[in-house]
Amino acid sequence: MPELDIVRFLAELLVILLSAKLFGELAERLGQPAVLGELIGGVVLGTGVFTFFHLNDPTLALMSEVGVILLLFETGIHSDLGQLLEAGPTASAVAAIGVVVPFALGWGLMIALGRDGLEAVFVGAALTATSVGITARVLSDMGKLGLPEARIILAAAVIDDVLGIVILSAVQGIAASGSLQWGAVLRTVLLSMGFLGAAVWLGPYMTSALVKIVHRMRVRGVLIGLAVCFAFAMALAAHALGTAMIVGAFTAGILLARTDKKEDIDSAVRPVVDVFAPVFFVMVGAKVDLGFFDPSSAESRAALGLAALLILAAVAGKLVAAFAVRGRGLKRWAVGVGMIPRGEVGLIFAQVGFTAGIIDPALYAAIVAMVIATTFLAPPLLKKALV
């Protein structure tokens, strides 16, 4: 690589990581998740404050893709498979409604506005995501994790994670082909579910062997090295079988979460994710054109109106899931509110569609605005619902 390219790359990476951490710190001090700060940091960089920062740098794009894979690997580590398998009918119903209704609302809204069917699918898919990390943090801070409502939210969110990854795999297939073919979508969904099922069945044998190797080796960093290698190997296996790499990475995390090394792996992986994942979120924010939120032009007012409609659909779609909650004394609206915040997966949907040219810049900006708004809304609403 020429010296000039190395200099520019290091300068870009420097401003990306600094903006991610500085704005992330500001967000947390304001009681919001760091991911919001990383997005805003990206928006600032996207205004052209640094002339050497290039949105389309292929090296940054690769780092961003690795960041997504590692992020979903970490998400898998934090997903309790036992909780998923033992989840009662209430949590399963909340999760199912919380995916189907937002998708239908997003898809129907786009069709009603005369948008293309592909755009409608991507918007519907982006509305299905749930960021359980935000809700779990609020519940923890309130000391409410032991409540029945909290257990329903967390169990439903685990199921939501799996469904979201399968849907993401399907829409990635749509983006790759450039057309909406329901047969291909069904094939991708079945492949993803089959891969997950086979991996959960065979996984204990693989992870047991991996842990034995870790115990026998003495080289520095063997745990994190082999854990990441396992994630990459599973991602490549998923790709070879015709499904998305993120399905493999997510599955790798779920499998390693069932070993006695879960806590050690989580602690070791976190610093790596903290370097790569912010690159993805900053790049997502940097691609938002603030010109679409200038109310002085008709085009901008249309984009703002679209963002407002997406926010309404996003909130309503998750609140409907509260009707699945049964049981005397349960605060059903707290469950619905707990499912409102969108996060990482919703942004990945937007990024996939935008990169493939399926989602235009105005719609992309509206989806990012929806993610930010629902993330801001959830904590105060949840606190009020549990009073």
Q: Which domain holds residue 14?
A: 3-44+82-385
Q: Which range is least confidently modeled, 26-30, 53-57, 180-184, 338-342?
A: 180-184
308 — pLDDT class (breaks 50, 70, 90): very high
158 — pLDDT class (breaks 50, 70, 90): low
Share of the chain above pLDDT 70, in %: 87
pLDDT computed for residue 1 by the predictor:
46
| Average pLDDT of the chain, as a whole number | 81
Q: Tokens standing for 184? A: 């291909």
Q: 49 lies in a domain?
A: no
208 — pLDDT class (breaks 50, 70, 90): confident
CB atoms closer than 10 angstroms to residue 99? 27
Q: 70 lies in a domain?
A: no
Mean local confidence (pLDDT), 211-226: 85
Q: What is the pLDDT of residues 256-299, one digit of tens each?
A: 888 888 888 888 888 998 899 889 888 888 887 777 777 777 77
pLDDT over threshold 50, residue 170: yes
Q: Which range is least confidently modeled, 7-11, 180-184, 218-222, 249-253?
A: 180-184
Torsion of CA 189, 190, 193, 199, to 10 degrees: -130
Instruction: Tell me the C-alpha distance between 274 and 67, whole Å.
Output: 9
pLDDT computed for residue 46 by the predictor:
86
Q: 360 lies in a domain?
A: yes
Share of the chain above pLDDT 90, in %: 14
Q: What is the pLDDT of residues 1-59, one digit of tens each?
A: 445 588 888 999 999 999 999 998 998 888 777 877 888 898 899 888 888 888 888 88
pLDDT computed for residue 213 by the predictor:
87
110 — pLDDT class (breaks 50, 70, 90): very high
Q: 133 lies in a domain?
A: yes
187 — pLDDT class (breaks 50, 70, 90): confident
Q: 68 lies in a domain?
A: no
pLDDT over threshold 90, residue 108: yes
Q: 250 lies in a domain?
A: yes
Specify the number of domains making up the chain. 1
Instruction: Tell me the C-alpha distance between 376 and 340, whole Å.
Output: 10
Q: 71 lies in a domain?
A: no
- Higher pLDDT: 197 or 115? It is 115
Instruction: Tell me the C-alpha distance between 25 and 137, whole Å.
Output: 16
pLDDT over threshold 70, residue 140: no
126 — pLDDT class (breaks 50, 70, 90): confident
Q: 66 lies in a domain?
A: no
Q: Residue 144 maps to which CATH number? A: 1.20.1530.20
Q: Which range is least confidently modeled, 13-17, 48-52, 91-95, 174-178?
A: 174-178
Residue 208: CB partners within 8 Å, gap ≥ 6?
A: 259
Pair 336, 321: CB distance under 8 Å: yes
Q: Tokens standing for 361? A: 């810049």
